[in-house]
Structure 1
Amino acid sequence: MSGSFKRVCVFCGSMPGVRPAYAEAARELGRVVAKRGLGLVYGGGAVGLMGIAADAALQAGAEVIGVIPHGLLKREVGHGGGVEMHVVDTMHERKAMMADLSDGFIVLPGGFGTLEEAVEALTWAQLGIQAKGVVFLDTEGFWQPFLKTLDFMQQEGFVRPGQRPLAMQAATVEEALDKLAAFRPPPEVLPWLRPHQA
């Protein structure tokens, strides 16, 4: 693992979903992150896939950092023991801090919030605001409809062919982490904005 790749941020659901494979993917992420000596950054909740990934990482000895807004602290049952918890004022602050603390993003199954976080990370990469990879862990083919939508956006002229690869996919946690560690922005990504201008 690259010496500059130290923490991975996971975007995932605050519910477990209907398929056991989703929870197992979250557990595997926590275990493999710890096995590789990495830290895990996540949304701070103790419920759903968030809590499952955090618990697995903690049990395996990884550093786990949670970032959660005041308004969600009770609703998502902020994680207790072992997590370095940061409580912020807004969702915008949450996402910015999660990005600052991590060196890449893995997207597990989830709902509106998970998708919104992932798309913002992709947009920041497209604009050159950050140079960190985004990998969709395609458990049970969960992300195929979304990835096909990105292909359609490219086909219709709204996503440049050189920028479509920013949304990577992986079948396993190991593959996802390998792709993040090796990620370099494609040549078509220009630093249109600096982080302070976002």
Structure 2
Amino acid sequence: MATICVYLGSREGKVSAFRQAAEALGLAMTQRGHTLVYGGARVGLMGALADSVMQAGGRAIGIIPHQLVEREQAHLGLHELIRVANMHERKSLMEKHADAFIALPGGIGTLEELFETWTWQYLGLHDKPIGVLDSQGFYTPLLSFLDQVVEQGFLDAPTRRELIAAPSPEALLDAIEARLSTK
């Protein structure tokens, strides 16, 4: 059983399948005995994921900076809501709590968290699996771009392979659990 940090939007996006994917991931994580750690909001995909975990009987931990408590509408129904001073402390604490990371659809905050976590892995600051849930092909253009970055010599192929991608929660969790079992 692992604690999985999930990065995802505080908005729902324009495609209902994104919310469905967040809810399906929450259910699948709970059924497999995993704990959720995430950004602590009750709105958007973030809220949908946390609610899904808790409705299925799972454990959800939110970590939110003081300045976002009202803006992102902090989820006060979580098992644990940790308030921190700033975004740097939030990301650091999320990393410390997590055994693995998953990114769902989201905006610049989600992308920044994904890339910072991947950079930390590349630099040897952690050796935890990182994956993206490519729901509705959301991450397909980014994954293609990253393949081009490898082709152009700015990223090595082994580092690129460290970023797991799968179209369904079950396939992504299978791949992450496989990596966790070899660590």
TM-score w.r.t. structure 2 length?
A: 0.96
SS in 2 for 1:183: helix
Aligned to 2:105: 109
Letter of the structure 2 residue corresponding to residue 106 of structure 1: I
Deviation at 1:83, TM superposition (A): 3.1
Deviation at 1:177, TM superposition (A): 1.1
Aligned to 2:170: 174
1:70 aligned onto 2:62? no
Structure 1: distance between partners of 2:106 and 2:37:
16
Aligned to 2:19: 23
CA RMSD of aligned residues (A): 1.3
Q: Which aligned segments of 4 or more residues in structure 1 are displaced greater than 3 angstroms?
A: none
| Percent of aligned positions that are identical | 44
SS in 2 for 1:92: helix
After TM superposition, the structure 1 stretch with the greater mean CA deviation from structure 2, 148-157 or 17-26, is 148-157
SS in 2 for 1:162: helix
SS in 2 for 1:67: strand
* Bigger share in helix: 2
Q: Any unmatched runs of 5+ in structure 2?
A: none
Aligned to 2:137: 141
Q: Any unmatched runs of 5+ in structure 1?
A: 185-198
Deviation at 1:7, TM superposition (A): 0.9
Contact 1:57 1:64 in 2 (8 A): yes
SS in 2 for 1:13: coil
Contact 2:6 2:103 in 1 (8 A): yes
Structure 2: distance between partners of 1:26 and 1:83:
19
Contact 1:132 1:180 in 2 (8 A): no
Aligned to 1:91: 87
Aligned to 1:187: none
Deviation at 1:82, TM superposition (A): 3.2
Contact 2:100 2:130 in 1 (8 A): yes
Aligned to 1:165: 161
1:54 aligned onto 2:50? yes
Structure 2: distance between partners of 1:144 and 1:107:
13
- 5, 8, 14: which one aligns with 1:9: 5
1:156 aligned onto 2:152? yes
Contact 2:62 2:78 in 1 (8 A): no
SS in 1 for 2:155: coil
Deviation at 1:96, TM superposition (A): 0.8
